[in-house]
Amino acid sequence: MIRLFVALPMPAATTLALRELCSGLPGARWVKPEQFHLTLRFIGEVDGRTARHVADELAGIQMPPFELALHGVGTFGDKRAARSLWAGTRPAAELERLHEKVDGAMARLGLPADRRKFAPHVTLARLNQPPVDRLGAYLSHHALFNAAPFTCDRFVLYSSFLSHGGAIYTPEQVYPLGGNDDHAWMADEAEDWADEDWERSEAARERESWEAERRAFAPAYGFGD
């Protein structure tokens, strides 16, 4: 079984802007910058055959690139029971359209619908009972957060591995936006775009260990063809 989701990766300049938000709140477990993404659809655990069908169905999505800008911060859960902290987006009809296309692709495969309303965001931290006054101050201080618009010219099928240090996300297939169904770019190109400048860390070494294991069984899922 492999755990999958579809998301937009964050370019380097946007990642730097988000990184500036990741401090100053007790009880926050900050997401590593190389893990920033905007989820279009969580798929969950599937077998190898379904994973291959998912990858193939996503390759049929066609639409042009579009501009997106991140704006504001918020939480899931109220201030006394906040579970996660996120950066939001400015309204973008094209983003909604891409989400609908991804949802439609999964529906054609017979996968269960996501019952949650699409709320585009980039998760910044998982929260563990942060002081209510400090959380309120953080949200007020960053309420007007704005990042420069960037061009969304690809979306990514990721796998997720739950390690002791948190989730490790690995790009499996990258799908360019441009109105055609060319074969997806492969994972190393996606990683170069998002985290080319980040230093090696213990988590990165753990990821390499996981990827070594993953390469042993990846052919069963059809990734990397």
Q: What is the pLDDT of residue 188?
A: 43
For residues 68 and 141, give the distance between their C-alpha atoms in angstroms, rounded to a whole number.
Answer: 23
**Strand, coil or helix: 23:** coil
For residues 63 and 146, give the distance between their C-alpha atoms in angstroms, rounded to a whole number.
Answer: 26
Q: What is the pLDDT of residue 80?
A: 84
pTM to 2 decimal places: 0.81
Question: What is the residue-wise DSSP string for 182-223?
Answer: PPPB-HHHHHHHHHTTPPP-HHHHHHHHHHHHHHHHGGGGTT
Q: Could you count the other beta carbons within 10 Å of the beta carbon of residue 220?
A: 13
Give me the active site residues, please: 37, 121
Q: How many residues does the chain have?
A: 225
Q: Map out the domains of the chain with their CATH numbers.
A: 2-221 (3.90.1140.10)
- Torsional sign, CA 197, 200, 203, 208: positive
Q: What is the pLDDT of residue 106?
A: 97
Which of 99-122 are b and which e, b meaning 16 or more Cβ less than 10 Å from the residue's Cβ?
bebbbebbeeeebeebeeeeebbb
Walk along the chain (225 residues) and give the pLDDT tens digit of each residue.
899 999 999 999 999 999 999 999 999 999 999 999 999 999 999 999 999 999 999 999 999 999 999 999 999 988 788 999 999 999 999 999 999 999 999 999 999 988 889 999 999 999 999 999 999 999 999 999 999 999 999 999 999 988 776 788 999 999 999 854 444 444 444 444 444 333 334 445 455 555 554 554 455 556 654
Q: What is the pLDDT of residue 193?
A: 40
Q: What is the pLDDT of residue 190?
A: 42
Q: What is the pLDDT of residue 168?
A: 87
